Structure 1
Amino acid sequence: MNRHNSIAFIINSLEGGGAERVMCNLLSIMESFFTQHQIDVYLILLDAVPEAHQCPAYVNKITLKTDGNLLQGYRQLKPLLRQLSPSLSLSFLTRSNMLNVVLSHQLGYQAVISERVNTSSHFPGGLKDTISKAMVKATYPKAHRVMAVSEGVKADLIQNFNVKEDRVQTVYNPYDIEAIHKRADESVTDLPQNAYIIGTGRLVKNKNFSLLIDAYAKSDVPEDLVILGQGDQEGALKEQVARLGLNERVHFLGFKSNPYPYIKQARYFVSTSNAEGFPNAIVEAMCLGKAVVATNCESGPAEILSGEYPLHITQFTPSKYGCLCPVNDATAVANAMDFLNAPTELARYSAKSTERAQAFSNEIFRQKMMACLELTPGAEDTAYVPAG
């Protein structure tokens, strides 16, 4: 028998983003278990903002109006959780995690928190960041269990935030490979006419698209470069492209709710981030059989592309499943791009991507989630049955 009659899931919002998408995927993947065992499932959103993701219909969704304020979150969440009386609550993202832990000790339920980013990199400096890190250090160790999205995130929590190793479990994000392929087959009207390589993500400093552009300019890549995404660095990046005389070859196609047709048609995928929690875009590209070039940032790329953590490199390194480069090294990224100019290497790493993607399937995620939430499968739960 399972000990849980009701479970609450808490996240800041369902705005566009990787954590929000994974939360909805989690609820879909676990639907058959929760419904079979008649567990009441609540999804609590702290902020009333436009939603880019949809949770499954079986979930009881409750939206608060905390406007991003931690104190308001505490005032509104406490009476709600007291009323719902869950035996367990799982939260995503820092603000939700801190509230979940504090309230679990006051209300007597188990708090499981999921850390989606490399916490040290996420709060690099300044007074506000210093306060946030101190609050994380005060709350996270008191969680019943911590789910880390990568081994790098796990190591950071243990080394820098006093979380005990036996309380942390790594659970990689889930990927529905069949669904990604299906969406990649949708038709789009703005594909470049020339062959191209691609990078995707928010156009912000941490994603370091300026490095991608510099490396592209240094390389002998014959294809064009496509960049998908939007953000406050867009103007500066376009100026950089113009300065390098690449206006005819670099295409900014904006944010795409379905990036997969663009990735599918690309020759290969490049990620030049300074920091990640677990880079969804890399695995999604691998699900589509795309070879990958990535910087060896904290956290995730090394685990995905080499199967190892930690991994220290000083130059472009062809790894087991993809091409790794030191962070902020344009020459190394250019070398990796030139390496994939060879059709034999491109074909070899495309095949390795397809192989590696299997390690991030929905079923493996479901098994890890069952263990983390201490759910006991019955005979009917031994196989994963997709929702719908």
Structure 2
Amino acid sequence: MIVFFLPNLRPGGAERVMLNVLLSYHIAYPNTKLVLLLGEKTGPLLAEIPTTIPIYSLGAANATKSIRPLIKFCKEHQPQVVFSSLGSALAASVAKRFVSSKIVFINRIGNTIGAEKLLFKNPIKRVMYLLANRFIGKNSNHIVFQCHYMAKDYIKETGVNPKNQSIIYNPVQVEKVEQLSNEKVEKEFTFIAVGRLNPQKDYKTLLDACAILKTRNSTFTLGIIGDGNLKEELQSQLKSLQLEENVFLMGFHANPYPYMKKARYLVSSSLYEGFSNVIIESLCLGTPVIATNCPGGNAEVIHDGKNGWLCKVHDATDLSNVMEKSLDQSVELDTKTIAENAQAVFHADIIFKRYEEVLNQYIK
């Protein structure tokens, strides 16, 4: 039995990656028992799980509350592998000490911790966050990093260089994404941004950049797909900057791909990333990307003037300059080549082989 363990199935990047690996493995090895284990059985992505994959819930809202029921689950079911990400990785690392040593714990690091730690203003919480990640590294049989930057950052921040580690880019279900991208949209945008309305995505700077851009080019439009706790604050900022005719907060869309496909550019204004699914999905659709050169994998993916541009982090002026440059009529990026090059690297079939190698070395 292989257990895929997550806090829930909200529509986030890490959840989608784990779900893609689960479904790909299910297709490749139909006789292997796979189980989806959730802290809480909630989230829109539940609808994508086939009935042939059992779903268990620990009834736990966070990592700490997951530990005891996870230990109980492991003792009862004796899985060969527990594969975790996000907060579940910490719960799995603690549980490892209380269950059979035959159970292999593989943990996927969900974000760039050197940047994410800065969100903790309380120095004690910041230290606890780093200690938790250090604990994960010391109590895992295998660690998966999403990109080279994340691996180097993790080792630097925790002082732990896991003996068994892999760097595996995130997968894109190319055929599925392309099919979904063919749906009709109510409105097409010059720029599209996709992601939760939270501090990490730094939409405040993106709106400030749009205000600057409007003084030079008033015809552009930006659609922001996503929901989150900063919605009211961003709506207020949008009105104060008089961007109502240019920028549109669209809320959550289960299928953002038609908007991404039909936009001229995807924009990512993040303060940091792990390895952005939205960026590589956009590239696989042939839509070039404007992204911050933030801590994370963006610089490993975006090549200036070929598939988009990088800009400075938390710098509205620089972001607006790059957005303005992208609208220059003399700028032509080959969308077909962008899609072909991205698909050759990030296609789910290619990425799954890497995960398959990791999982199968522990399956007897």
| Aligned position for 2:50 | 56
Deviation of 1:352 after TM superposition, in Å, equals 2.8
2:226 equivalent among 215, 226, 229: 229
Q: 1:102 to 1:233 in 2, by over 3 A?
A: closer
TM-score (normalizing by structure 1): 0.85
Deviation of 1:258 after TM superposition, in Å, equals 0.6
Stretch of structure 1 that moved more, 60-69 or 169-178: 60-69
| Equivalent residues in 2 for 1:263-342, closer than 5 Å | 263-306=260-303, 318=304, 320-342=306-328
Deviation of 1:57 after TM superposition, in Å, equals 3.1
TM-score (normalizing by structure 2): 0.90
1:99 aligns with 2:85: no
1:116 aligns with 2:102: no
Q: 1:350 to 1:224 in 2, by over 3 A?
A: farther
Deviation of 1:254 after TM superposition, in Å, equals 1.4
Gaps of 5+ in 1: 1-5, 307-317, 378-388
Deviation of 1:301 after TM superposition, in Å, equals 0.9
What letter matches 2:109 in structure 1? Answer: E
What letter matches 1:356 in structure 2? Answer: A
| Equivalent residues in 2 for 1:117-266, closer than 5 Å | 117-124=111-118, 125=120, 126=122, 127-164=124-161, 166-188=163-185, 190-191=186-187, 196-219=190-213, 220-221=216-217, 222-266=219-263
| Aligned position for 2:344 | 358
What letter matches 1:270 in structure 2? Answer: V
1:68 equivalent among 62, 70, 75: 62
The answer to whether the Cα contact below 8 Å between 1:98 and 1:140 also exists between their aligned partners in 2 is: no
Deviation of 1:132 after TM superposition, in Å, equals 2.7
| Aligned position for 1:14 | 9
What letter matches 1:73 in structure 2? Answer: S
Deviation of 1:135 after TM superposition, in Å, equals 2.2
Deviation of 1:376 after TM superposition, in Å, equals 9.2
Deviation of 1:237 after TM superposition, in Å, equals 1.9
**Percent identity between the two aligned chains:** 27
Residues in 1 aligned to 2:339 and 2:299: alpha-carbon distance in whole angstroms: 14
The answer to whether the Cα contact below 8 Å between 1:225 and 1:249 also exists between their aligned partners in 2 is: yes
1:88 aligns with 2:81: yes
Deviation of 1:25 after TM superposition, in Å, equals 1.1
Deviation of 1:69 after TM superposition, in Å, equals 5.1
Gaps of 5+ in 2: none
Residues in 2 aligned to 1:45 and 1:298: alpha-carbon distance in whole angstroms: 29
Q: 1:169 to 1:69 in 2, by over 3 A?
A: closer
Q: 1:144 to 1:34 in 2, by over 3 A?
A: same
Query: CA RMSD for the aligned pairs?
Result: 2.2
Question: For residues 28-51 of structure 1, what are the alpha-carbon distances to aligned partners after superposition, in whole Å with 9 as ceiling and x for unaligned?
Answer: 11123322xx32212111124344
What letter matches 1:100 in structure 2? Answer: A
Question: For residues 208-251 of structure 1, what are the alpha-carbon distances to aligned partners after superposition, in whole Å with 9 as ceiling and x for unaligned?
Answer: 11111222222234321211112222222222222222221212
Deviation of 1:325 after TM superposition, in Å, equals 0.8
Give secondary structure in 1 for the equivalent of 2:56: strand
